Amino acid sequence: MSARTKARKRALDMLFQADVRDEALAVILAAEAKRASSEPDRAASWLYAREIVDGVNDHREEIDELLVTYAQGWTIDRMPHVDRSLLRIASWEILFNDEVPPAVAIDEAIELAKEYSTEDSSRFVNGVLGKIADHAQK
């Protein structure tokens, strides 16, 4: 498993925790930073996970607006916590990280949805992210 795949899982965990616990992302990040400092072999995944979480946090309003636009009939609050976090991560990568091709961001999100969410989530995630990728190319 690549360092970036591990980083996406760590970012998913942090965003999910903050969402479910209704806790400040800064608190979650601080706890993860402390943990990461004691695990030097996971430094690469920690750095990218931090970049993802910071990016999602910095662009959350814009990302969420696009999610609501392209997830027709779904509000942010109605989406399962895992799906919402995955969509935010992949949307940030598609929209704001030129180092990650949109297809890679989408594929990674689909795989994580298959692993951590509902049976229908991977199709939902794929559909929404495909529309966001189309939007980003305009």
Mean pLDDT, consecutive 10-residue stretches, the chain (138 aa), reads 91 96 92 86 86 97 97 94 97 97 98 95 97 94
DSSP symbols for the chain: --HHHHHHHHHHHHHHHHHHHT--HHHHHHHHHHHHHT-GGGHHHHHHHHHHHHHHHHTHHHHHHHHHHHSTT--TTTS-HHHHHHHHHHHHHHHH-TTS-HHHHHHHHHHHHHHHS-TTHHHHHHHHHHHHHHHHH-
**What's the pLDDT at 3?**
85
**What's the pLDDT at 40?**
79
Domain ranges of the chain: 3-137
- Has domain 3-137 been given CATH number 3.40.50.720? no
**What's the pLDDT at 131?**
97
**What's the pLDDT at 106?**
98
